[in-house]
Structure 1
């Protein structure tokens, strides 16, 4: 069976929370629940690093404005992680060239990352932290659920991930005006701080 559904799903999930994907896949492989997980993701040092970074992200992702800063830092990290995980999965399965798999994983990770970052910008236009906490928790639960589903039912997980990606893209387009206002306010604050410093 082709690894493409698992690769696409892992890429999508990496765009939302790359550390959770690495940690979950590594644990599934390490516990013997899946033989689709490459040894590189099951290594103890990789699992420890992914767990620590996941915990840091779990906190940073729930704090208004810090979450957008964190997303900006991860604009490169998440797509690269998606591409690397995809290439490793393809190498393990042997049914898809690793370069093609990396492209699929990286592209789906970039798309879902842009949806996540855009949605967070819109959410940050509201000053209360509850929305951030609820959204971040929902994202973490979604990633855990879909990655788990992908291990046992990859095609179904890929369909769900694709649907969430399409819905997310429409949501970001719908929220674009809020995002523009947020960016404009952020720019004005930066300019005000720069003027006050001089």
Structure 2
């Protein structure tokens, strides 16, 4: 928006506040803080905990800013979907990082964080230069995420069934 690289539709004029130099500067400082915080295990966990509250609200408000303000039903749906999608995306990232952060050595945390940074930059570039390819990558990642959630659900079901089976076999005093 700031560089007029892409034409912004009229109905998104309310997002013009995001091109304010102060907003961009604060966002750049926050991005740098996150870049550094992600490299330190305990700091990353604290950062993710705080952002579990911040990111869904931001996603909900951004979704609200891009819909027609004359239809309250659409606004409510956009608010809920934007917040829910932000919460799920952040929850997935924070959960994966929580697993990595439990590792006693610091190298895996820094490697995973750097991998996330490279993947983010690469996907943003692909979305700008080759949107169809980026859409394909996003679809593949969505399928992988769905398979992982389904697998985790089955594993938890098996653990629950095994636990119920063991507890039923143990005699009570």
Do both share a fold (TM > 0.5)? yes
| Residue 92 of structure 2, aligned match among 115, 139, 149 | 115
| Residue 59 of structure 1, aligned match among 16, 32, 36 | 36
For 2:139 and 2:80, the matched residues in 1 are separated by 16
Distance 1:106 1:144, change over 3 A: farther
Gaps of 5+ in 1: 1-28, 178-198
CA RMSD of aligned residues (A): 3.4
User: 1:102 aligned to 2:102?
Assistant: no
Which entry has the higher C-alpha Rg, 1 or 2?
Answer: 2
Classify the secondary structure of the residue corresponding to 1:62.
coil
* TM-score, normalising length: structure 2: 0.67
| Residue 27 of structure 2, aligned match among 50, 57, 60 | 50
What stretches of structure 1 move > 6 A for 4+ residues in a row? Answer: none
For residues 44-193 of structure 1, what are the structure 2 equivalents within 5 Å? 44-90=21-67, 97-151=74-128, 157=134, 160-161=137-138, 163-165=140-142, 167-168=144-145, 170=148, 173=152
For 1:35 and 1:109, the matched residues in 2 are separated by 25
Q: Which residue of 2 aligns with 1:25?
A: none
Classify the secondary structure of the residue corresponding to 1:55.
helix
* TM-score, normalising length: structure 1: 0.60
Q: How many residues align?
A: 146
Contact 1:111 1:165 in 2 (8 A): no
For 2:131 and 2:65, the matched residues in 1 are separated by 16
For 1:153 and 1:140, the matched residues in 2 are separated by 19
Task: Point out which structure has higher relative CO (alpha carbons under 8 A, 6+ apart).
Answer: 1
Gaps of 5+ in 2: 157-173
Q: Which residue of 2 aligns with 1:32?
A: 4
Distance 1:32 1:91, change over 3 A: farther
Distance 1:160 1:69, change over 3 A: same
For 1:101 and 1:149, the matched residues in 2 are separated by 26
For 2:110 and 2:121, the matched residues in 1 are separated by 17
Distance 1:91 1:49, change over 3 A: farther
